[in-house]
Amino acid sequence: MAEDAKPRRLYQVWKGSNRFFCGGRLIFGPDVASVLLSILLIAGPAIAFCIRAHSKMEDHSYALPALIGGFILAVMDLIFLFVTSARDPGIVPRNSKPPESDDTFDATTPSMEWVNGRTPHMKLPRTKDVIVNGVPVKVKYCDPCLLFRPPRASHCSICNNCVQRFDHHCPWVGQCIGIRNYRFFFMFISTSTVLCIYVFAFSWIDLLQLKRAKNSIWKAMSNDYLSDFLIIYCFVAVWFVGGLTVFHSYLISTNQTTYENFRYRYDKKENPYNKGVMGNLREVFFSKIPPSMNNFRAFVEVEEEDAVGVVTPNFGEGIMSSNEKIDIEMGMKLTEDGGFTLPEILRNLEYDDSDDDLKNSEEDGGHFDSIFPVEQDMKEPTGTTILGDQVTCSGQKAREPVYSSSALEDDNIATEKKDDMSGSNQTAAP
């Protein structure tokens, strides 16, 4: 069956949350639908502005240049949005097995957590130090990807991938922002800012031109609702995209990512990646973009599906340590050989101590309320013979039957009643 399995492409067995199109050539995040909303928010006002500029071409000489400029900016903005959303942001390939530890860690280090869930038979540190430009930097072990993340990489919980130089996951582009698309993301938000300012400015020019004919700005605004809408829309949008542009300009000049800025605060300690303003600008805009580490169109065997996906811990097949672990919530007991349910555990418990306590209590004259007679432990009986008050088991000496205390009390009461009745009968006889 395995030999006849048809090979499939990597994107078809990829266990991340990404969405693939065009045979794995385009990769989006799981929230790819948000890209359509972003396209609508950009293309809608841009088309309205171009229609408005085209209608004024006969009356105003600036209308044609405004139309051409607005069209170019809108197309560039949409292209940057598409390139940012549809490319691999720098996904780090998963490992099929945990990495082998180069060093032996026998001593317990207070500042170190050990990875036990997926590597029960070996010790791996949760973090380890690597040297970046002479500065020690901690890198973390990623449980889903079974690897130590490269410096500046982080695992995106939305896309379920480790991404190189992870900046953030942008819901407006439906994709992670990493080393391979950060440049295009910045171009997208900066072009959006320029487009908002451009449309805002020419919409005001239209109103001012109409004011000359109406002799009042209020009358001009009441007769040009499209310009009013574009002014308000662009005024609101520019605060959003403009603020992002300014913030990321600061991050680029200091060679930080959004994740690092909020998490590590390099202003309080040395940034090992800072190369100066010009060096940082050169690295972001003029350096070569590294190729993708994944060939999503490559053929893989179906049996290798787990090797490229998320490896989840299997606690039932030799993954547990020698110590038994009980999952209280599931009500299951798991061992190295297999699982046993809790009722079976109760049936397998030893009651030797309980039997000893019971015998000791009987010898002390204690009473146990029971409706069942106490059974004797006969390990190898082959037959039972009852001779009067003697009970004889083949292979064993005869033993007297043992009854519970409540049964003996009932027999005593019945005997006393018989004696009373016989005595009364004798007294009544003449």
Active site members: 170
CB-count exposure of residue 268 (10 Å: 0-12, 13-18, 19+):
exposed
CA torsion 221-226-230-236 (nearest 10°) is 70
Tokens of 337: 């050989």
The residue among 45, 26, 5, 38 whose CA lies nearest residue 87 is 26
Strands, E assignment, 124-268: 127-132, 135-142, 147-148, 154-156, 161-163, 168-170, 175-177
Scanning the structure block, which residue is given the tokens 């078809």? 12
Place of tokens 């009970």: 391
Encoded tokens for 24: 């794995």
One-letter identity of residue 35:
V
Neighbouring-strand partners of residue 343: none
Q: Cα dist. 373→75, 344, 376, 383, 388 in Å?
A: 92, 26, 9, 20, 19
The Cα-based distances of 356 to 346, 359, 376, 402 in angstroms read 19, 5, 13, 16
Tell me, what amino acid is at 107? A
Taking alpha carbons only, the member of 375, 377, 367, 362 closest to residue 410 is 367
Q: 339 CB contacts (<8 Å, ≥6 apart)?
A: 316, 332, 333
Q: How many angstroms separate the first and last alpha carbons of the chain?
A: 102
Closest of 108, 319, 134 to residue 126, by C-alpha: 108
Q: Which of 148, 117, 134, 92 is nearest to 290 (CA)?
A: 92
Dist CA 45 CA 51 (whole Å)? 10
The helix/strand count (H/E) of the chain reads as: 12, 17
DSSP for 371-387?
A: SSPPPP--SS---EEEE
All residues at 6 or more sequence positions from 303 whose CB lies less than 8 Å from its CB, including other chains = 2, 5
